[in-house]
Amino acid sequence: MKKTVQSFCLTLITSAGFLPVKAQSNFWIIGGQDAAEGQFPWVADFRRTLPDEAETHLCGAALIHPYWIITASHCIRVSTPAIGASRTIRLNSVNTWYELNPDGGLIAEIDTIYDNPRFSMVQQTGAGNDLALIRLKKPVHTITPISLPRQEDTSAPIYSGNRKVKAAGWGLIDTGGFAGASILNWVETKIIDHTLCQQYYAGNTVVGELSKGVICAGYDDSLSSGVGAGDSGGPLWTEEDGKLVLLGIVSGGGGWKTTLYKQPGIFTKIAYYRPWIDSIINEFTPRVDTPGKFDDQTILVSSGPDRINVAFKSMPSDKVTIQLYNIDGRRMYQTALMAPAHKTIHIDSRHFAAGIYVLRIYDNQQRTFTKKLHYIAY
C-alpha cells in the first residue's frame, strides 16, 4: 500500500534533478503535445525553492477562484518546506524551466494551504480524498478560473464512460529516466467507466477498491493517451454547455510511472468533494470589497463578417485591457487601450473558427467585464 504514493511521487521528490529537456509528443503526457502560451492560462505550476537550489516544478494545479488553487494532497505532503524553502504558483506560463511568459504570465504568492485531513500517504490509490486547496495572498483577476462541476453532477453524464476529456501537466517525457517536460503538455483521452476500471485493477493491491471519490481516465484501445508521474495535481477537464469544467485532478495509478493499456490514471473526482471544497472557500476567502463590473450599457459588443466590435461609452477608467479567449482557454487577442471612454476597437476575426469565445475586459481598479460570444464564421 505504501508504495502507491511512493511510486507516483518519485518524480516529485527528485524533481530538482530533472534535466530541462524539450517535451516530445510520443512520451508522457502519453500521446500529448506542447501547449502554446496562453492556451490554458488557468493551469497552474506548483513550485518549490530549496535553500541554495534553483526553483523547480513540483506538481500541476488549477485556478478555480480568484483566490484559490486546487491540487493533490500528496503534492502538499511531499513538498513540506524545509527551513529556508518556499513554495509558489505560476500561472499562464507553459515553460517551467525558463523565463515566465512575458505576455501575461504571473507568479502568485501562497497564503495558506488547506489539506484534506482524510487523505493518508500510505493509503491505496483508489481510496480518494487526494485534494488540497491553496489560498493566494492576492486574488488573480487577469485569468478566468476553470469552472467546477456541481455536487449533483457526481452521477451525471458529464462523468460517463468514454466521454472525451483533456489532461495537462509537466510529467515524465522519458519512461526510462526522470526527465520532466520543460513545456506544458496536454492530451485528449477518455473516461473509463468506474466498474470497468475496477475490473482492470482487480487484484492490484496498489489501487485497491475504487471509492466514489475517484474517476479513471486513460485508454483501453490502440490510441495511447493519459498521464504519468510528475503530472500529479494537474487537471482533467471537459467542455459542457460552452464552458470548461474541471472533472478531476491527477492522483495516481496502478504502481507504474505512467498510464498503461487498461491501466488508467486515477483522478480525484471534483463533484464528489464539492461540499468540502465549498466549505473551505466559503469560510476562508478574504472578505474584501468585490471589484466593480462594467455592464452592457458601458461596453457594447457586436460582430460582423470580419471583425468583432467593442465600443466603450462613458467610463472612469484611464486604461483597460481587452482579451479574447476561445473555448479551450487559449488567448486569441489582447490589447491595452488608454482613455477608453467613447472609443471603439475592432478585433480582426477573419481567421477565427466558428464557436464560443469569451471576451474579458478589466482596468487597473480590477473592474471587469465578461461576455460569452457565439461566433459564426462568415
Distance set, CA 335 to CA 145, 177, 244, 310, 340 (Å): 20, 43, 24, 12, 12
Q: Per-residue b/e over 103-126, b at no fewer than 16 CB within 10 Å?
A: ebbbebeeeebbbbeebbeebbbb
Enter the C-alpha cell of residue 371.
461576455
Q: Which of 57-61, 234-238, 293-297 has the highest mean pLDDT?
A: 234-238
User: Taking 70 as the threshold, does the pLDDT of residue 30 lie above it?
Assistant: no
Residue 173 is predicted with a pLDDT of 59
Domain boundaries, the chain: 2-284, 299-375
Q: C-alpha grid cell for residue 210?
A: 475504487
- Tens-place pLDDT, residues 34-88: 899 989 999 999 998 877 777 888 899 999 999 999 999 999 987 666 655 688 9
Q: Is the peptide bond before 134 cis (omega within 30 degrees of 0)?
A: no
Pairing between β-strand 132-136 and β-strand 344-348 as defined by DSSP bridges: unpaired
Q: What is the mean pLDDT of residues 282-295?
A: 78
More confident residue, 310 or 181: 310
- Positive or negative, the CA dihedral 369, 309, 243, 251 is negative
Encoded amino acid at 37, one letter: E
The model carries a pTM of 0.78
Work out the mean pLDDT of the chain and round it to a whole number.
83
Q: What is the pLDDT of residue 107?
A: 95
Phi and psi of 351, rounded to 5°? -105, 10
Q: 198-224: per-residue pLDDT in tens?
A: 999 999 999 999 999 999 998 887 666
Percent of the chain's residues with pLDDT above 90: 50
Q: Are 30 and 228 in contact (CB under 8 A)?
A: yes
Q: Phi and psi at residue 47, in whole multiples of 5°?
A: -130, 160
Q: To the nearest 10°, report the CA torsion of 235, 238, 244, 245.
A: -70
Q: Return the CATH number of 299-375, one of 3.30.390.50, 3.60.15.10, 1.10.510.10, 2.60.40.3080.
A: 2.60.40.3080
Cα–Cα–Cα angle for 238, 243, 246, rounded to 5 degrees: 40
Over the stretch 128-149, which tens digit does the pLDDT of each residue have? 999 999 999 999 988 989 999 9
Confidence of residue 288 (pLDDT cuts 50, 70, 90): low
In this structure, of 67-81, 93-107, 111-125, 279-293, the range with the lowest mean pLDDT score is 279-293
Distances (CA, A) of 168 to 92, 156, 162, 184, 308: 13, 23, 18, 7, 31
Reduce the DSSP state of residue 2 to 3 states and report it.
Answer: helix
Confidence of residue 330 (pLDDT cuts 50, 70, 90): confident
What mean pLDDT do residues 359-375 have?
85
Q: How far is the C-alpha of 272 from the C-alpha of 161, rounded, in Å?
A: 17
Non-local CB neighbours of 296 within 8 Å, separated by 6+ positions: 371
Does the pLDDT at position 273 exceed 90?
yes
Whether pLDDT at 257 is above 90: no
Residue 260 clears pLDDT 80, i.e. is over it: no
pLDDT band for position 1 (50/70/90)? very low
Compute the distance between CA of residue 23 and CA of residue 114 in angstroms, rounded to an integer.
32
Q: 2-284: which CATH number, 2.40.10.10, 3.40.50.1110, 3.30.565.10, 1.20.1260.10?
A: 2.40.10.10
More confident residue, 373 or 277: 277
Share of the chain above pLDDT 70, in %: 82
pLDDT of residue 21: 27
